[in-house]
């Protein structure tokens, strides 16, 4: 492959904003407020900001790791942990990214089955979405980045509808503002982690960024925008529902769309769910791309061989979760894995990389 051809595969640094933000906004935004309220009540908006600050630190750590001599996660693991254990860690990270995509896929299907088409079989929608994902990934990383761009831009109008809840707002729900404790907020921040997961995929696509070091500010802008969106939705949810109502509402953000009234559509939530497909597609597409690329690198075979395998595995696993209990268990398991990746794996990589670099100098 020529140097010119290699350059043609790279994306501009500003697109990192869309890649990271699109990974963080998925189906989690439809129900996250309920779970953080269980942990910290209606003062849980503080945990949204706290989690955002933590992820700014995580982004900084990842760029410190990636700006060294090794810029790919497989090379980094091999450099820090040796060939055998490094490959084991890379394989586990690949499985984590795959399940991150499956979680988004299956949870979105559940939303469609609950609200729009109760009799729709899981395999039909799962297959339809994965065919679109497969088509995008086969056309290269720049097309994947384009999917992420559309996933941020197209659904932006939906956030304007959130302000329709102001008519029914009870602002005293937020008072007293700071009647909480750090322990409670940290518990809520742990719960919030599932919604913020996704930036760690930077460890895989970093080599595809032109002048990667220049993209760091855009990654931080993405975290900032994500934090703003989650904070806005959390506050609007808390002033719209009472605590008792929120405990019995599985998807509070989705339920709030019922109050939106437009002259040309009676059930706005149907339009919202359909449009939300543009939000979840980047989650699935980027995750499938990253998992299949890591498998390609580990087995040293063509991407066209690993992509069908990963896609078929994702399809098969998505069919195993048919009940709300199982889907909730999948979300909890991925959230737990995400906490280990975010709060243990990445900091350990950062510390070891700093130590190895200083040792050599």
Q: Under a CB-based contact definition with an 8 Å cutoff, are residues 240 and 249 in contact? A: no
| Total residue count of the chain as it appears in this document | 361
pLDDT of amino acid 249: 83
Q: Under a CB-based contact definition with an 8 Å cutoff, are residues 220 and 52 in contact? A: no
The answer to whether residue 138 sits within a structural domain is yes
pTM (2 decimals)?
0.92
pLDDT of amino acid 327: 92
DSSP string covering 14-54: THHHHHHHHHHSSGGGGTHHHHHHHHHGGGTHHHHHHHHHH
Q: Under a CB-based contact definition with an 8 Å cutoff, are residues 281 and 125 in contact? A: no
The answer to whether residue 356 sits within a structural domain is no
Can you count the helices (H) and strands (E) in the chain?
19, 0
The answer to whether residue 110 sits within a structural domain is yes
The answer to whether residue 265 sits within a structural domain is yes
DSSP string covering 245-283: HHHT-SSHHHHHGGG--BTTBS-HHHHHHHHTHHHHHHH
Q: Under a CB-based contact definition with an 8 Å cutoff, are residues 23 and 225 in contact? A: no
Total number of domains constituting the chain: 1
pLDDT of amino acid 69: 63
CA distances to 23, 68, 196, 315 from 276, in Å:
13, 38, 17, 20
DSSP structural state of residue 67? T
The answer to whether residue 355 sits within a structural domain is no
d(CA 133, CA 284): 7
d(CA 209, CA 285): 17
- Helix, strand, or coil (residue 242): coil
Where residue 38 sits, what CATH number does that domain have? 1.20.1740.10
The answer to whether residue 130 sits within a structural domain is yes
Q: Under a CB-based contact definition with an 8 Å cutoff, are residues 334 and 328 in contact? A: no
The answer to whether residue 29 sits within a structural domain is yes
Q: Which of 247, 282, 279 is nearest to 159 (CA)?
A: 279
Q: Under a CB-based contact definition with an 8 Å cutoff, are residues 70 and 230 in contact? A: no
The answer to whether residue 79 sits within a structural domain is yes
Q: Under a CB-based contact definition with an 8 Å cutoff, are residues 105 and 126 in contact? A: yes
d(CA 350, CA 282): 27
Task: Find the radius of gyration of the CA atoms of the chain.
Answer: 20
pLDDT of amino acid 14: 95
Per-residue pLDDT of the chain in tens (361 residues, 90 and over written 9): 434 336 778 999 999 999 999 999 988 888 888 889 888 888 999 999 999 999 999 999 999 999 876 678 999 999 999 999 999 999 999 999 999 999 999 999 999 998 888 899 999 999 999 999 999 999 999 999 999 999 999 888 877 776 777 777 788 888 888 888 889 999 999 989 888 999 999 999 999 999 889 999 999 999 999 999 999 999 988 988 888 888 888 788 777 777 766 665 667 678 888 888 999 999 999 999 999 999 999 999 999 999 999 999 999 999 999 888 999 999 999 999 999 999 999 999 999 998 887 776 5
- Which residues form the domain of 200? 12-89+98-337
d(CA 227, CA 285): 23
């Amino acid at each position: 492959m020529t140097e010119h051809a290699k350059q043609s595969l790279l994306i501009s640094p500003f697109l990192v904003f869309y890649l990271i933000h699109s990974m963080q906004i998925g189906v989690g935004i439809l129900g996250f407020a309920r779970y953080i309220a269980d942990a910290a009540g209606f003062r849980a908006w503080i945990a949204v900001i706290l989690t955002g600050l933590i992820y700014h630190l995580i982004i900084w750590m990842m760029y410190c790791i990636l700006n060294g001599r090794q810029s790919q996660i497989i090379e980094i693991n091999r450099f820090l942990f040796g060939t055998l254990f490094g490959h084991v860690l890379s394989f586990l990270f690949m499985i984590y990214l795959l399940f991150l995509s499956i979680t988004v896929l299956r949870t979105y299907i559940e939303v469609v089955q609950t609200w729009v088409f109760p009799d729709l079989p899981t395999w039909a929608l799962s297959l339809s979405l994965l065919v679109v994902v497969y088509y995008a990934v086969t056309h290269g990383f720049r097309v994947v980045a384009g999917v992420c761009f559309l996933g941020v831009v197209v659904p932006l109008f939906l956030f304007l509808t959130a302000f329709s809840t102001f008519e029914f707002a009870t602002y005293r729900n937020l008072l007293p503002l700071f009647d909480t404790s750090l322990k409670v907020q940290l518990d809520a921040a742990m719960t919030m982690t599932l919604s913020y997961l996704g930036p760690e995929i930077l460890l895989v696509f970093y080599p595809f960024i032109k002048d990667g070091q220049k993209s760091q500010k855009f990654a931080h802008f993405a975290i900032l925008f994500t934090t703003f969106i989650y904070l806005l939705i959390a506050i609007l949810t808390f002033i719209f529902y009472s605590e008792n109502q929120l405990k019995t509402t599985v998807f509070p953000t989705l339920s709030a769309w019922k109050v939106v009234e437009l002259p040309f559509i009676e059930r706005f939530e149907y339009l919202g769910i359909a449009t939300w497909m543009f939000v979840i597609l980047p989650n699935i597409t980027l995750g499938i791309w990253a998992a299949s690329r890591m498998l390609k690198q580990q087995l040293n075979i063509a991407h066209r061989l690993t992509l069908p395998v990963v896609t078929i595995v994702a399809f098969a696993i998505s069919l195993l979760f048919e009940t709300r209990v199982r889907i909730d268990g999948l979300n909890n398991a991925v959230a737990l894995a995400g906490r280990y990746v975010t709060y243990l794996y990445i900091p350990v990589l950062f510390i070891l990389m700093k130590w190895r670099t200083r040792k050599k100098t």
